[in-house]
Amino acid sequence: MTPAIELENVSKVFGKFPAVDSLSFRVPKGVVFGLLGPNGAGKTTTIRMIMNITAADSGDIRVLSSPMTRETQNRIGYLPEERGLYRKMKVLDHLLFLAAIKEVSRENARRRIAEWADRLELKPWLKKKVDELSKGMQQKVQFIATVIHDPEILILDEPFSGLDPINTAIIKDYLTDFRKRGKTIVFSTHVLEQAEKLCDEICLLARSKKILEGNLRDLKRRFSKNLLHLSIEAGPTEIAALPGVASSQAVNGGYVVALAPGTDQREFLRRALERYPLHGFSAKEPELEEIYLDAVHAAGMEETRPIE
């Protein structure tokens, strides 16, 4: 299947500072793709280059299998990191304008605005000026603007920054819904917990370079440290004495046990079960943050941390 977005050796230098350094990745169609990394890693520059707002110095970018054209531009919904609206415009006029520059007919635009306004409870505000809206309301307007032309791909730069929990929930629902309809979502964030819950695929950036890319489930397996979560009737020393245990730690009445490399999980569990009453167990997957830190460590860029 052709990817929705494809980057090949893309670089961008601002003055002497490399913002993006030979970056390549593919976004398959129909996935939620997370572009992750700390502030200043090059996420926004990458997104702007995909949108053809900033030109790449070198490399190829293909969106829906060709460089960004007028026609593909109309099939993308974009939410920039720097979010703004014309403050003196009425909400309805504003949305009609943003639809018009995506070449949506006025009639269609009106219908879709009405639908979205219903869904996001924005209807009483349509005739008000943007100025009179609360920040949360303005964010709803901006989200409607990104989908008003029913795009195939959504590109969202830090969509959750500055959102209150209610709006965050609304936007997450909306992203899930969007994906269910077979559309592609690319979003950037520096908050890894959000990405963990939403993404199918990720690309991790640090200091202008890609340090990791792939399917999140595969990555979790790859970065798994052979950890098990055990609920067992045994003391800490008894656990540590079990064959194959590299280290163990008591957690909430149970243990997180790290197995020595090469130890078979089933073999270990069988032995544990023979000796002590075992109430439950689960494989403990590494969290995205741990994967990130490992990847950063492997790349020798420790001081870069995914913290706000």
Partner 1 sequence: MSWTKIFAVIRREYLERVRTKAFWIATILVPAFFLIYMAVQFIAIKKTSGERKIAVVDTTGQLAPALAAELAAREAALRQKNPGSRGIHWVVEPRPITGDLEQTKEALRKEVLSEKIYGYLILDPGLLKKDRAEYYSISVSEFVAIKQMDEAINLTVLRRKIEDRGLPPSVGRELEKRVDLETWKVTNKGVTQEKGAGILAALVFMVIMYSTFIMYGFQNLRGVIEEKTNRIVELVIASVRPIELMLGKIIGIGLVGLTQYLFWSLVAANLSMLGIAGIMAAGEAGAPLIPLSMIGYFILFFLLGYFLYASIYTALGAPFNTDQEAQQLSMIPTMLIVGGMAVYPAVMNNPNGPIAVGASLFPFTAPLIMYLRTAVAEPPGWQIGLSIVILILSTTAMAWFAGRIYRVGILMYGKKPTIPEIMRWVRYRPGKVLQPAAPPRS
Q: What is the dihedral of CA 95, 98, 101, 103, to 10 degrees?
A: -50
Contact flag: residue 93 with partner 1 (CB under 8 A): yes
Contact flag: residue 89 with partner 1 (CB under 8 A): yes
- 199-212 core/surface letters (b: 16 or more CB in 10 A; e: else): bbbbbbbbbbbbbb
Among 19, 46, 91, 102, binds partner 1 (CB under 8 A): 102
| DSSP calls for 55-76 | --SEEEEEETTBS--HHHHTTE
Among 84-92, 159-167, 194-202, 247-255, which window interacts with partner 1 (CB under 8 A)?
Answer: 84-92
Convert residues 138-157 into a mask of x (bound to partner 1 by CB under 8 A) and - (unbound).
----x--x------------
Nearer to partner 1, 40 or 254 (CB): 40
Q: Name the minimum Å distance from CB 140 to partner 1.
A: 15
Query: CB of 146 within 8 A of CB of 154?
Result: yes
Instruction: Give Cα 169 to chain centroid, integer Å.
Output: 15
Q: Name the minimum Å distance from CB 217 to partner 1.
A: 24
Q: Name the minimum Å distance from CB 21 to partner 1.
A: 14
Query: CB of 82 within 8 A of CB of 74?
Result: no
220: helix, coil or strand?
A: helix
Q: Name the minimum Å distance from CB 64 to partner 1.
A: 9
Instruction: Give Cα 244 to chain centroid, integer Å.
Output: 36
Q: Quick one: DSSP state of residue 37? A: -
Applying the rule CB under 8 A, the residues between 27 and 66 that interact with partner 1 are 48, 51-60, 62, 65-66
Contact flag: residue 14 with partner 1 (CB under 8 A): no
Strand order in the sheet with 153-157: 76-79, 153-157, 184-189, 32-36, 201-206, 209-215
Nearer to partner 1, 40 or 80 (CB): 80
Contact residues for partner 1 (CB under 8 A)? 2, 6, 48, 51-60, 62, 65-70, 73-74, 76, 78-80, 82-89, 93, 97-98, 100-103, 142, 145
